[in-house]
Every structure is written in structure tokens, then in C-alpha cells.
Amino acid sequence: MDISGMLRDPRTIESIDLPGAEQINWTVGAAGVDAIRVYGEPGQGALVPWFAILANGKIVGRVNAAMVEVVIYKGG
């Protein structure tokens, strides 16, 4: 398997978990979330990975990938 980086991974994301006492979790199909997509924001010399949380086709939240502890892919 090619482990070339999150920004180039074509798999569908099913959920992401953030660490901490709050145990924040975003899951497709829960709380109106219909997709979670990774994308790059310009940083100092490179793209910084972020997750967009979509509900009804609109971005309702963005999470810096550095804050994410677990990424679960559909079927995986």
C-alpha cells in the first residue's frame, strides 16, 4: 500500500476523533453530517491538512488535522 499522505488519499472518510476529555467525534450519518473531506490550506512553504465537516452539502466546521487523533475510512 502506498502511504503517500492524507491529502492524496482517495478513500472516503467515515469519521474523525479529536483527543481530550470532551471526546469529540464527527461521523458521517450522525448529527446531519453527510461528508468529511480532507483538503490543504496554504502554510509556510507547504499545504497544511484540514478536515471540512459538511452537512446538507455546506461546510459547517473545519478541523486542523494536527488536532485529530483517529481517522476511520469507509470500509476500513
Chain segment 2-50, per-residue pLDDT in tens: 666 889 899 999 999 998 877 889 999 999 999 999 999 999 999 999 9
> Does the residue 41 lie in any domain?
yes
Residue 75 confidence (pLDDT): 84
Residue 16, domain member (yes or no): yes
State the residue for C-alpha cell 490550506. Answer: 41
Q: CA dist 22 to 41, 44, 51, 62, 63, Å?
A: 26, 31, 19, 17, 15
Q: What are phi and psi of 67, to 5 degrees?
A: -90, -5
Residue 76 lies in a domain: no
| Residue 59 counted as domain residue | yes
Phi-psi category of 14—alpha, beta or left, where left has phi over 0 and alpha has psi -120 to 50?
A: alpha
Per the confidence metrics, is the pTM higher than 0.85? yes
Question: Does a structural domain hold residue 1?
Answer: no
Report d(CA 38, CA 46) in Å as an integer.
15
Q: Give the structural domain span for 29.
A: 6-71
